Structure 1
Amino acid sequence: MSYQSRIWFLIILDSFIVLSTIFFSQKLINPNLQTLTIPIFISSISLLLGHHLFSFIYKLYKKAWEYASIGELISIFKVITYTIIVTGFVQLLVQKQVDYRILTITWMIHLLLIGGSRFFWRIYRDTYLKHPMNKKRTLIVGAGSAGTMVARQLLHNHDTELLPVAFIDDNLNKQKLDILGVPVIGGVKQIEQLTKEYNIDNIVIAIPSLNKKQLNQIFNECAKTSAKTQMIPMLEDLMTGKVSVNQFRDVQVEDLLGRETVELDMTSINDYVTNKVVLVTGAGGSIGSEICRQISKFKPKTMVLLGHGENSIYSIEMELKEAFKDTEIDIITEIADLQDYEKLMNVMTIYQPNVVYHAAAHKHVPLMERSPEEAVKNNIIGTKNIAEAASIHGVETFVMISTDKAVNPTSVMGSTKRLAEMLIQHFDQISSTKFVAVRFGNVLGSRGSVIPLFKKQIQKGGPVTVTHPDMVRYFMTIPEASRLVIQAGALAKGGEIFVLDMGEPVKIVNLAKNLIKLSGNNIDDIGIEFTGMRPGEKLFEELLKKEEVNEDQIYPKIYIGKTSALYIEEIEYIINNFRSLERDHLRKILVDLANERVPFQEKLVSV
């Protein structure tokens, strides 16, 4: 039925109801009434005109009655009550008296018939057009306002494949109650048992304010079942209107492993970034590109994207130019190798950056074990080149991205990053530029990380390969890692190694199990295979050595490590001689120096 046809249908239906109510009221009061009197005619006209007037005022003809609820019932009550009041005034003016009995009965019948006609379609729809047999039986976790909204949406939307059959909530006051006809059957700890009893196909987590720990607890219970688990969007997305409460999404590993967000000190970041020239090395990488996205929000004057891979640099350039096309940010790209000192000096001369974020590095542990000389070239020499160029050209703040693998390193990658940290701290001592480093653990979803590998293995049918059942790692999301780097620049006084409180480390085998479950597969079907630890790997990572630990937080969740010894002469020796050293010997020298095993010079003499 078209919109116009629908309105005319309701007008005609209401006109018939209004005229019928006054007639039935008169017959109830005066059963012997046979003819239409003038007072009855005037009252009928008044009721009819008043009803249509107030119906248009309260938009009674524009409401979708298949979704009628308390709000619509209140509108009907107002329309009918005001109509009766107007009719009473008309009677008073024309007849000099008000027939209260007639009007009261008319009001009651009017309310019953108009309300009944409107709610009839909803009752019919919910009773006879309801719940096709092929719908998936759904358990809603959370019987609060969000869970109630989810249930209402699913009950009223007959195009959805989900049918809510029960709520789960730890609030004892809600248990054993019915909400919209859906029972609250128990708490989170009973999810596994109740899923079997109620033959649940889908679970929807409907608590938008959950923190990571609470979500983990609920998901772990859901993971014990065979039901598919989804969740409603996060609270901030609902509040900003980005998504609605019924836009379910699959639970992502980032939801389970990410930390609670550290809020930025916007004022301090604005002071050193806004309207400044910012250069990012490794701008096409996972962290570098996210730093570019985050920094662009603070409206720097110029963003210089420097990287070695033209495809990745082109990609982030196009993305930023599209995202910030309405701003005056000048986005510039430079294809350069960090080992090309003259090129770096030229870039610094041309753009005169105020801030440098150094995100370029070789980070793959097994690959660097096989090619330690490449790790020296990129992670040590590259860092030295860009740091020296920044110092000479008077850069205000230089922030280097480091890793937890630089603490007590057993790998070439971790060792070269620790030596790069030493270079940064050394440059801070001899330069007017503020040099700092930022350490964090593994980044969810970054290139070469374990999660994309696991996902590919799951897509191929398994098995998922884990090096050791006891291996644990710290994890954080790419946006948070980038925010930490930006905040570190604002906090920098010079020479610090900033470390984020990463929370609890995660067992890699548990991560693998969660990813298998999140993909909708069974752990036994995919399988987990332990392959043994690779060269340079450790069972666990550390964020600070014992002698570096500083108990005080400089910012919520951010610590500063104490400065340890710097071996600059030894690093210079490696830079000058690494090409002539055998790989095994170079590997040993790097790890020994990064771990401050002395006397280092004697070992060099014996080479």
Structure 2
Amino acid sequence: MTNKTKNNRKVAQQVLIIGAGVAGIIVAKQLKEQPANFTPIAFLDDDTNKHKQHIIDIPVVGSIAALDNVTASYPIDLVVLAIPSLNDVKKMQFIKKCRELQLNLRIITGVNDTMFQEQAHIDVTMEQLLGREPVKLDQHQVSDQIKGSTVLVTGAGGSIGSEICRQVCSLQPEMLILLGHGENSIYAIHMELRKAFGEQVRIQPVIADIQDANRINEIMTKYQPNVVYHAAAHKHVPLMEQNPREAVKNNVLGTRNVALAAAKNYVESFILVSSDKAVNPNNVMGATKRIAEMTVQMIATQTNSHFSIVRFGNVLGSRGSVIPLFKEQIRQGGPVTVTHPEMTRYFMTIPEAAGLVIQAGGLQQGSKIYVLDMGEPIKITTLAEKLITMSGFTLQEINIAFTGIRSGDKLYEELMNEGEMYPEQIIPKVHIGRPTTFSAESITHFIETFNQLDDEILVQTIYDLVAKKKVLSVKQSEVTPHENLIRS
């Protein structure tokens, strides 16, 4: 920690401690052991019995709500929040208050936290970063659908796919099929689930590429799943900008293969995991996810099965998300890199994302789009500041560097297009969107011919498909090619 200097001499930092309980007293003692670096000058605590008392010779000068007045009266260099039991919502409110007052803040996560003796790396949870209470969806209505059934999850080794598998296993299916292309990730989730649920659920790992239509149909025919969660996808925005053909092959062609195989084999419920980047897409990844949505909606018109789509915001802690990158940058001493100071995103946790997918599968309201109510969008800069602070550092020790918007990035994301969303929430904490019309003939032609296009024309065609202002309705005559595929 960098101390102030006066006439080339270090000056001890004046510290205000929030919380005069066990953790606060331990912190105060640690600070007193380092008089050259710190001077604890006061406590704030909501226990009025402690007010106007001295604890280890440090006065308790008021309640936490008096922060504004106290910091105006005392020359505070550092605030230490030493209430480990404080809930995450109140903790986020306090962090926001300190930011408004331009106060350096450190957070104590437990009575054994010794950050003032030796800098420790604190493992901040995704729930702590969220800034709202996690949404807990009611899964009772889907338990009857899952219990005793056969469930297939594509992308089962990924962050979302593996959490879907964990939650599905807790609902007691007869069999769970773990489908993935990477053997190491499938092996890892298979071992984990066998250890946790092996005696209760038959767990079958399957290595397969969703781009291989014959292999996918073979698997569907062999195992006859009742429910399919399609989580396999390429989702990294900058990588897909540089590899548009692979994005189409995996996100569009792969989705069509899985959805057609599900329809041919009379799967009861099919759920596509999509993204808020599919709304008014500004990048190849989002555009291919939107075409994947249209492909699923197109196939849904030719089957009695329930085909649904779930759109996520950014999933905190998932592979390729900003949080693992930020954590690594903090471990290395910074800076934490953010593309633009005004960039915002909707965020949810991995359990929230998986829970929404499972709930959507149990609703069976036809071809609908489901979006979790994630509250207000969060600035990426705010998220970075929270992570730095909650990791035990000040913003002076770990700074934020702005690197500029990457190709394909938007300053903000949307959850649904205008006209898609029903005016009210039919299910608490879940928005439901109605499918919009589009030209199924154009989608079919694109899937059949995209490999003949060079990359520049391919990308332009992708954007043409998702950005047309004048669209055609899906008619029976337009989906004949897919109707024939399903029935063949």
User: Residue type matched to 1:373 in 2?
Assistant: R
State which of 156, 174, 186 in structure 1 corresponds to 2:63: 186
Q: Which residue of 1 aligns with 2:17?
A: 139
Matched-pair contact (CA < 8 Å) for 2:300–2:307:
yes
State the Cα deviation string for residues 334-390 of structure 1 (Å, max 9, x = none).
000001111111111221111111000000111111111111111011000000111
1:531 maps to 2:403: yes
Q: Which residue of 2 aligns with 1:468?
A: 340
Give the C-alpha shift of residue 519 in structure 1: 3.2
Give the C-alpha shift of residue 202 in structure 1: 4.2
1:275 maps to 2:153: no
State which of 197, 208, 215 in structure 2 corresponds to 1:343: 215
State which of 159, 173, 178 in structure 2 corresponds to 1:305: 178
Alpha-carbon distance change, 295 to 389 in structure 1, aligned in 2, over 3 angstroms: same
Q: Which residue of 2 aligns with 1:424?
A: 296
Q: Which residue of 1 aligns with 2:93?
A: 217
Matched-pair contact (CA < 8 Å) for 2:163–2:354:
yes
User: Residue type matched to 1:176 in 2?
Assistant: H
Alpha-carbon distance change, 258 to 366 in structure 1, aligned in 2, over 3 angstroms: same
User: Residue type matched to 1:282 in 2?
Assistant: G
User: Residue type matched to 1:190 in 2?
Assistant: L
Q: SS at 1:545's partner residue?
A: coil
Give the C-alpha shift of residue 576 in structure 1: 1.6
Alpha-carbon distance change, 221 to 433 in structure 1, aligned in 2, over 3 angstroms: same
Alpha-carbon distance change, 222 to 582 in structure 1, aligned in 2, over 3 angstroms: same
Q: SS at 2:341's partner residue?
A: coil
Matched-pair contact (CA < 8 Å) for 1:258–1:475:
no
Q: SS at 2:301's partner residue?
A: helix
Q: Which residue of 1 aligns with 2:196?
A: 323
* Matched-pair identity in %: 48
Q: SS at 2:404's partner residue?
A: coil
Normalised by the size of structure 1, how large is the TM-score?
Answer: 0.66
User: Residue type matched to 1:329 in 2?
Assistant: V
State which of 83, 89, 106 in structure 2 corresponds to 1:205: 83
Give the C-alpha shift of residue 598 in structure 1: 4.7
Further displaced range: 511-520 or 467-476: 511-520
Q: Which residue of 1 aligns with 2:483?
A: none
Q: Distance in 1 between matches of 2:131 and 2:268?
A: 32
Give the C-alpha shift of residue 565 in structure 1: 0.9
Q: Which residue of 2 aligns with 1:576?
A: 448
Q: Which residue of 2 aligns with 1:452?
A: 324
Q: SS at 1:228's partner residue?
A: strand
Q: Which residue of 2 aligns with 1:115?
A: none
Q: Which has the higher strand share?
A: 2
Q: Distance in 2 between matches of 1:261 and 1:304?
A: 28
State the Cα deviation string for residues 226-271 of structure 1 (Å, max 9, x = none).
45302469xxxxxxxxxxxxxxx76545413254233332321211
State the Cα deviation string for residues 17-63 of structure 1 (Å, max 9, x = none).
xxxxxxxxxxxxxxxxxxxxxxxxxxxxxxxxxxxxxxxxxxxxxxx
State which of 383, 397, 414 in structure 2 corresponds to 1:511: 383
Give the C-alpha shift of residue 549 in structure 1: 2.2
State which of 537, 546, 559 in structure 1 corresponds to 2:418: 546
User: Residue type matched to 2:195 in 1?
Assistant: E
Q: SS at 1:331's partner residue?
A: strand
**Equivalent residues in 2 for 1:26-425, closer than 5 Å:** 139-141=17-19, 168-169=44-45, 176=51, 183=60, 185-188=62-65, 190=67, 193=71, 202-208=80-86, 210=87, 212=89, 214-221=90-97, 224-231=102-109, 251-252=124-125, 254-257=127-130, 259-325=132-198, 327-425=199-297
Q: Which has the higher contact order (CA 8 A, sep 6+)?
A: 2
**Equivalent residues in 2 for 1:546-565, closer than 5 Å:** 546-565=418-437
User: Residue type matched to 2:352 in 1?
Assistant: E
Alpha-carbon distance change, 193 to 340 in structure 1, aligned in 2, over 3 angstroms: same
Q: SS at 1:476's partner residue?
A: strand
Give the C-alpha shift of residue 196 in structure 1: 6.5
User: Residue type matched to 1:186 in 2?
Assistant: S
Matched-pair contact (CA < 8 Å) for 2:23–2:83:
no
State the Cα deviation string for residues 403-458 of structure 1 (Å, max 9, x = none).
10000111111111111111111222211210000012001011111121222223
Give the C-alpha shift of residue 466 in structure 1: 1.8
Q: Which residue of 1 aligns with 2:478?
A: none
Q: Distance in 2 between matches of 1:316 and 1:444?
A: 19
**Alignment coverage as a number of residue pairs:** 439
Normalised by the size of structure 2, how large is the TM-score?
Answer: 0.81
User: Residue type matched to 1:492 in 2?
Assistant: Q
Further displaced range: 256-265 or 276-285: 256-265
Q: SS at 2:337's partner residue?
A: strand
Matched-pair contact (CA < 8 Å) for 2:17–2:42:
yes
Matched-pair contact (CA < 8 Å) for 2:259–2:299:
yes
Alpha-carbon distance change, 168 to 295 in structure 1, aligned in 2, over 3 angstroms: farther
Matched-pair contact (CA < 8 Å) for 1:140–1:206:
no
Matched-pair contact (CA < 8 Å) for 2:311–2:371:
yes
Q: Distance in 1 between matches of 2:418 and 2:49?
A: 49
Q: Distance in 2 between matches of 1:568 and 1:561?
A: 19
Matched-pair contact (CA < 8 Å) for 1:188–1:221:
no
Unaligned runs of 5+ in 1: 1-136, 234-248, 601-607
Aligned-residue CA RMSD (Å): 3.3
Q: Distance in 2 between matches of 1:334 and 1:196?
A: 64
1:442 maps to 2:314: yes
Matched-pair contact (CA < 8 Å) for 2:136–2:352:
no
